[in-house]
Amino acid sequence: MAAAPPSQPLSDGVVRLRAWTEADAAELVACLDGEPEISRWLDQIPQPYTVDHALAYIGGTTGNDRETRFAVTDAADGRLLGSIGATWNEARDVAEIGYWLRADARGRGAITAAARLVSAWALEAGAARVQLRAAVGNDASRRVAEKAGFRLEGVHRSAYWNPRLGRRVDWAMYSLLPGELA
């Protein structure tokens, strides 16, 4: 089961992480439908991406019931920038984060800020370890992990079949332990 989401949105003045609402559905579709980088690396996101897909995601009927999901928004104007979530293991002592950011918001540190916020929340919620995996060729996601303070542990070779790429991919495994958050 997922950790209870925080009672208030998480924010650092750059981004604000809040619960998803049905009102986000159309903007979620605008972010994801046909977006080439997201489609390439996140084959779990259906393409084409429809309002029905968005509503299922928002309603928590896709993915895993151990995931706590957040809409990543601009702290100043509330614009939807992306998504970040933490999936907890059964013992609730390890949280694995995953994220994506809309194309026109990349390169400004928003998802790095979101990763720091979610990591701090997960550690405070009892995680003894926060981890994330990124495909070895996904340089942008790997930079986010490193800038957020995660340490590269190694590479899981041929770890996953990505049907969109038509091949197996290697995953770089990163972790963050209590006391290591930058």
**Residue 168, pLDDT score:** 95
pLDDT band at 2 (very low <50, low <70, confident <90, very high): low
Domain boundaries, the chain: 10-176
CA-nearest of 151, 141, 147 to 106 is: 141
Mean pLDDT estimate for the chain: 93
CATH topology of domain 10-176: Aminopeptidase (3.40.630)
The tens digit of pLDDT for each residue in 149-181 reads 999 999 999 999 999 889 999 999 999 999 998
Q: Measured between alpha carbons, how far is 104 from 111 in angstroms, rounded to an integer?
A: 12
The tens digit of pLDDT for each residue in 39-74 reads 989 988 999 999 999 999 998 776 667 889 999 999
Residue 1 clears pLDDT 70, i.e. is over it = no
| CA torsion through residues 17, 34, 88, 129, sign | negative
**Residue 178, pLDDT score:** 95
**Residue 164, pLDDT score:** 87
**Residue 65, pLDDT score:** 76
**Residue 107, pLDDT score:** 93
Cβ atoms within 10 Å of 21's Cβ, excluding its own:
9
The tens digit of pLDDT for each residue in 11-48 reads 999 999 999 999 999 999 999 999 999 998 998 899 99
Q: Which residues contact 178 (CB under 8 A, 6 or more apart)?
A: 123, 128
